[in-house]
A and B are shown apart, each in its own frame.
Chain A
Amino acid sequence: MSEAGASLYDALAALAESSAESDYAKDGFHHRHKVAAPKLPDIAALCHEHGYVLEMITCEDQREAHDAMRLVYTFNRLSAVDRHLIQADLPPGQEAPSIVGVYHAADWFEREVYDMYGVRFAGHPELKRILLPDDADFFALLKDFGRIEDAEQEAES
C-alpha cells in the first residue's frame, strides 16, 4: 500500500465504527469500513481531500436481516487502484445526510437511491425521481415490491 493510501485508511478508520483490510484479488475491495450515517459527509470530505473519486452510491434493502437500509459508497483513486467500501446502516424511515456539497456526482446517485429505495437525503438541492415516472407511488428496488412469485400468485387467484 502506498503512503497516500495508508494515510486515508488510517484517517477513515479513526472516523469509522469498524475498519478492515479486504482481499482485493477475491472481492475487488482493498478496504472496508462500517460507519454511522451522520459521519458520511466527514468521510466524503476526507476522501475528497486525498483525491479519491466517488465511484458510486447505492443502497441495500436489509430490513429483514438487520432492520436497516444499508447505504453503500465506493471510493477509488485514478492513479493507483485503492478501493474503499463504505457501508452505513440507516434505520428505515430515517434521513441520511447528503454529500452533494462534497462530490457533485452524488447528486444523481442520491436521486437514484431515493427513486429506488425511498431513502431521503437531507441537504440534497433537489431530491426527486430520476429514472421512474415523477408520479410513481412505489420504490422499485425494495424487496417487498414486484416479486415475480407475487405476480404469479396473483395471476393464479
Chain B
Amino acid sequence: MKIPDVPRDADRDTFYLNMGPQHPSMHGVLRMVLKLRGEQILEAEAVIGYAHRAHEKMAENRNYLMFLPNTSRVDYLSGMIYNLGYCQAIEKWMGIEVPERARTIRIIANELNRISSHLLWFGTFLLDLGGVTPFLYCFDDREEILDILDQVTGSRLTYNYGRFGGVTVDVDDAFCQRTTAFLARLRERLPRYEDLVRGNIIFRERCDGVGVMDQHTCFQHSVTGPCLRACGIEYDVRKAEPYGGYDEYDFEVPTASEGDCLARYDVRVREMEQSARIIEQALERLPDGPILPAKMKKKVKPKAGEYYFACESARGHFGIYLVSDGSDIPFKMKLRTPSFSNLSSMPEVLRNTSVADTIAIIGSVDVVMPEIDR
C-alpha cells in the first residue's frame, strides 16, 4: 500500500503503522500496513513477496527429478509433506506403483513432520502473546522429531527423502523404537501444555472471541486447513480425496465452531493427537519389503496435458497444477499453497480489531512466508 501524503486538514487521529517486514512476530518477512485511529485498525493491507525465489520459474527450467529438492524449500516447516506430495503427484500421473513399506514409511514421516510443524507454531504463537516458557518446552519436543528424521533422511528441515516410487533410505528398528518413545512422551506432555496454556487467564483473554473468521469469510477467500476447520467445516484433503493410503487409517478430523484464535489453537492441538494416532497405526503395520520399485522409471515424461494433485500440508490444501508438453521438463507448474489464500483473508478479518490483536490473529493463522512467496 502506498502511504498517501496526508493533507493539512486531514483527520489528525488517523495514521499509518508499518508492521514488518522485520517485526519479530510477523513470522519471517510479512509486512502489514495498518491504517489506525488510535489503537483501532481501520484498514489493513498485507504486503508480500520479500521471500520470492521463483520456484515456479525454476520448475520450467529443469526436469522433473531435478525439481525434487526445490519442493521442501517452498514450505520449510512442512518440507516432508511437500517433498513426498510432489513424488505422489508424479506417481499418480505416471502410474508408478509404490511398495507397501515405502507407503507406510511415508505416512509416518508425513505425520511426524506435521507434529513438528504444529509444535513450532505452538511455541511461536505463545511467544507472540508474551509467553516464553511453552516455547522452550515444545522446542525440546520438536528437537526429538528433527533428530529422528535427521537420522533417516540426513537433514533437519529441507528433506529430500522421496523418490518417484518410494523413499531413499529404509528405516530400522531404532527408528521405530525412538518414534514410539517420542509418541509416549508427547502424549504425556500434551495435557501438561493444556494446563500451562489453555487454562491461563491471560492466554484466554487474548484469544477468546478474537479474530473470528466465519464460514462465509473462509469460503470467499478459499481458506483451508486448521483455520477452516476451526469454523466448523470438516475439510481435510486426507479425508476428502485420500492419497498415499490415508483412507486405510483410522483418524478423526478435529473441528471447532467459533472460528476465533482459541478455536484455531484447539484444532491444531487436537490434530497433533490424531497425527500421533496415525503414526502408531503405521508403526504397527509396517510391513517388510522393498522401499523402491524393482524397476525405476528412468525418464519421467507425463503425457501432454493438464494434471492436478492435492495433499494436506500442516496449513491446508497444497495443490500442484502441472501442464506437460510431453517432454521431460514441465511446461508449467503452479504451486497452490494454503497460506497464500489464508493470508488473503486478513484485511477483512483485521478490520476493527486492535494492534495487539493483530499479533494474536496472525500468529493463530500460522502463515509461513516462503510458502506464500514461493
Q: A85 to B222, alpha carbons, bound, how many Å?
A: 16
Q: B332-374 toward A: CB 8 Å interface, digit per residue (1/0)?
A: 1010100011001100100000000000000000000000011
Q: A78 to B224, alpha carbons, bound, how many Å?
A: 10
Which B residues lie within 8 Å of A129 (CB)?
49
Q: Does A45 make an interface contact (CB < 8 A)?
A: no
Q: How many residues on the A side are at the interface (Cβ–Cβ under 8 A)?
A: 37
Which parts of B69-109 form the interface with A (CB within 8 Å)?
A: 92-93, 95
B317/A55 in contact, CB under 8 A:
yes
**Interface-facing stretch out of B9-17, B120-128, B282-290, B304-312:** B304-312
B93/A27 in contact, CB under 8 A:
yes
Q: A27 to B93, alpha carbons, bound, how many Å?
A: 6
Which parts of A124-157 form the interface with B (CB within 8 Å)?
A: 129-133, 140-141, 143, 146-148
**Interface-facing stretch out of A5-13, A35-43, A88-96, A99-107:** A99-107
B307/A28 in contact, CB under 8 A:
yes
Which B residues lie within 8 Å of A61 (CB)?
332
Q: How many residues on the B side are at the interface (Cβ–Cβ under 8 A)?
A: 41
Q: Total contacts A to B, CB within 8 angstroms?
A: 90
How near does chain B come to A39, taking the closest CB pair, in angstroms?
A: 19
B56/A141 in contact, CB under 8 A:
yes
How near does chain A come to B31, taking the closest CB pair, in angstroms?
A: 12
A60/B323 in contact, CB under 8 A:
yes
How near does chain B come to A111, taking the closest CB pair, in angstroms?
A: 10
Which A residues lie within 8 Å of B344 (CB)?
104-105, 107-108
How near does chain A come to B48, taking the closest CB pair, in angstroms?
A: 7
Which A residues lie within 8 Å of B323 (CB)?
60
Which A residues lie within 8 Å of B305 (CB)?
27
How near does chain B come to A67, taking the closest CB pair, in angstroms?
A: 16
Q: Does A20 make an interface contact (CB < 8 A)?
A: no
Q: Does A19 make an interface contact (CB < 8 A)?
A: no
Q: A148 to B62, alpha carbons, bound, how many Å?
A: 9
Closest A-B pairs by Cβ, 5 of them: A28-B308, A131-B49, A105-B222, A104-B220, A58-B334
